[in-house]
């Protein structure tokens, strides 16, 4: 399954190395863009396959068929199933990280608004849909036995968790809450991950909307001086 194929026999002319006199010109930029597009096609097809077949049953042939490309194209870009899966996990983490960082930045300087933005962002359809949740679960199931996955996810998860802890600490200082920020941040993260898992399992009474409502209940209970109920679900209170 990991047999490589000579790229010169399988790739299009647009993917062949540029001639020396063309380096840096429009032709090279076009080829580079095409290569990136092909990689993204294959990664998206991998996510589809993980969601449909699971980790073990996803093959390079499945990905090639899903992307509408040849097996040789897959080998040219990723050489092996393991490299393809690592690139897919990297892509998913990059996408998720960019998503929550954008929400955090847009929230401004208020830590309560920032924390609420992170929670809301977790249930945005862009990152929270059955297809991507199933792919995440496929990777989570393999992470324990694959150090590469652990290393990749560990650094990203730590950055998110440290931010959560920092925000909980700031809210605690503002209002004098009697909790330990690290423990509370871990509780919130575990709640969000658990709601993602229930969404992936297709539990009938759980939707993105009800999951967000549950997460908001946590914020209302943990930070009563910062949040209050509103017609839209939750609102920021003046501290």
pLDDT bin (cut points 50, 70, 90) of residue 125 is very high
In a domain, 105, yes or no: yes
The pLDDT value given to residue 36: 86
The pLDDT value given to residue 237: 73
Find out whether 10 and 72 touch, Cβ atoms under 8 Å: yes
Q: Is 71 in the same domain as 96?
A: no
The pLDDT value given to residue 219: 97
Report the distance separating Cα 199 and Cα 156, nearest Å: 22
Q: Is 138 in the same domain as 226?
A: yes
Find out whether 78 and 42 touch, Cβ atoms under 8 Å: yes
Looking up residue 205, the CATH number of its domain turns out to be: 1.10.357.10
pLDDT bin (cut points 50, 70, 90) of residue 61 is very high
Report the distance separating Cα 109 and Cα 11, nearest Å: 49
Domain boundary among 79, 111, 139: 79
For 93-124, the pLDDT digits (tens) are: 999 999 999 999 999 999 999 999 999 999 99
Range(s) of the domain holding residue 72: 7-79
Q: Is 96 in the same domain as 75?
A: no
Report how far apart, in Å, the C-alpha atoms of 228 and of each of 45, 103, 116, 224 are: 42, 21, 12, 7
In a domain, 148, yes or no: yes
In a domain, 2, yes or no: no
Q: Is the pLDDT of residue 145 over 90?
A: no
Looking up residue 41, the CATH number of its domain turns out to be: 1.10.10.60
Find out whether 39 and 33 touch, Cβ atoms under 8 Å: no
Report residue 43: phi and psi, to 5°: -65, -45
Q: Is 154 in the same domain as 218?
A: yes
For 15-53, the pLDDT digits (tens) are: 333 333 444 555 454 455 588 899 999 999 999 999 999
Closest CA to 118 of 130, 105, 128: 105
pLDDT averaged over the chain?
84
The pLDDT value given to residue 157: 83
Domain boundary among 22, 48, 79: 79
Could you tell me what percent of the chain has a pLDDT over 70?
81
For 174-192, the pLDDT digits (tens) are: 999 999 999 999 999 999 9
Number of domains in the chain: 2
Taking residues 79-88, what's their average pLDDT? Answer: 92
Find out whether 164 and 188 touch, Cβ atoms under 8 Å: yes
Alpha helices in 79-180 (DSSP H): 81-106, 111-121, 130-143, 147-175
pLDDT bin (cut points 50, 70, 90) of residue 79 is confident
Domain boundary among 31, 59, 79: 79
Q: Is 163 in the same domain as 191?
A: yes
């Amino acid at each position: 399954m990991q047999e490589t194929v000579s790229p010169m026999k399988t790739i299009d002319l647009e993917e062949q190395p540029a001639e020396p006199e063309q380096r840096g010109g429009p032709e090279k930029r076009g080829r580079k863009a095409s290569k990136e597009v092909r990689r993204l096609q294959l990664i998206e097809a991998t996510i589809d396959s993980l969601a449909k077949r699971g980790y073990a049953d996803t093959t390079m042939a499945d990905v090639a068929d899903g992307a509408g490309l040849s097996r040789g194209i897959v080998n040219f870009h990723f050489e092996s199933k393991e490299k393809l899966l690592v690139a897919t996990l990297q892509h998913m983490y990059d996408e998720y990280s960019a998503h929550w960082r954008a929400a955090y930045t847009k929230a401004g300087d208020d830590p309560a608004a920032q924390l609420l933005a992170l929670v809301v962002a977790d249930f945005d359809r862009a990152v929270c849909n059955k297809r991507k949740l199933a792919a995440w679960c496929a990777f989570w199931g393999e992470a324990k036995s694959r150090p590469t996955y652990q290393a990749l996810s560990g650094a990203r998860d730590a950055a998110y968790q440290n931010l959560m802890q920092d925000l909980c600490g700031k809210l605690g200082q503002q209002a004098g809450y009697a909790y330990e920020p690290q423990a509370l941040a871990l509780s919130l993260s575990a709640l969000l991950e658990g709601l993602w898992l229930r969404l992936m399992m297709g539990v009938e009474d759980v939707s993105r909307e009800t999951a967000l409502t549950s997460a908001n209940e946590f914020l209302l209970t943990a930070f009563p001086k910062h949040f209050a109920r509103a017609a839209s679900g939750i609102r920021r209170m003046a501290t």
